[in-house]
Amino acid sequence: MNIRPESSGDFVAVRAILREAFAGDDEADLVDRLRNDGDLLLSMVAEEAGQVVGHVAFSRLWLRHDGQRLPGVSLAPLSVMPGHRRHGIGAALVEAGHGRLRHAGESIIFVLGDPAYYGCFGYSIAAARAFDCVYAGPHFQALVLTSLAPKAGAITYAASFDGLA
């Protein structure tokens, strides 16, 4: 398996993976909008035998706290072709993305997903609890990458997410 940044030649394959993994166009359209709006910080693919079989997107979000506007990151969506699931592809994509984001100086990542799955990467509901967000609830989690990460605030996702809540 090869994990690498997405290239423009991957767009069609990524869209197909998203449509298959999520049984529709919503997530594929989301990634297209994030890409077109310049809000996609990091988009990575997993290849097996030269075929793109997995994808993860990380986009910019903003936190407002004590009059400051601070950057944060959203992990969404993560997808793997059905025939390739449960082989560590999703985990490899998430971990590779985390490494690149740490290296780039990002401080906090948020995700809406299964706590049992994302908890394995260090995400926690407790870390997200102090943040005001349209997605707040039992599946909203945060991963603190550095001690400089904001501890609270109001989250604004990229406009591409409007209408998905």
Amino acid letter for position 105: G
CA distances from residue 83 to 20, 21, 86, 98, 161 in whole angstroms, order as listed: 11, 10, 9, 25, 28
Provide the pLDDT for residue 151.
94
Instruction: Please name each of the domains of the chain with its CATH number.
Output: 2-161 (3.40.630.30)
- 66 DSSP assignment: T
pTM for the predicted model, two decimal places: 0.95
Which pLDDT score is estimated for 131? 98
Task: Using pLDDT thresholds of 50, 70 and 90, give the confidence band for residue 114.
Answer: very high
* Beta-strand pair 140-144/108-112: antiparallel
User: For the purposes of burial, counting CB atoms within 10 Å of the CB of 126, is it exposed (0-12), middle (13-18) or buried (19 or more)?
Assistant: exposed
* Contact present, 155 and 112 (Cβ < 8 Å): no
Provide the pLDDT confidence category of residue 163 given band limits of 50, 70 and 90: low
66-91: per-residue pLDDT in tens? 999 999 999 999 999 998 999 999 99
Helix (H, G, I), strand (E, B) or coil at 132: strand
Residue 8 is classified by DSSP as: G
Strand partners, 69: 64
Rounded Cα–Cα distance for residues 57 and 125 (Å): 20
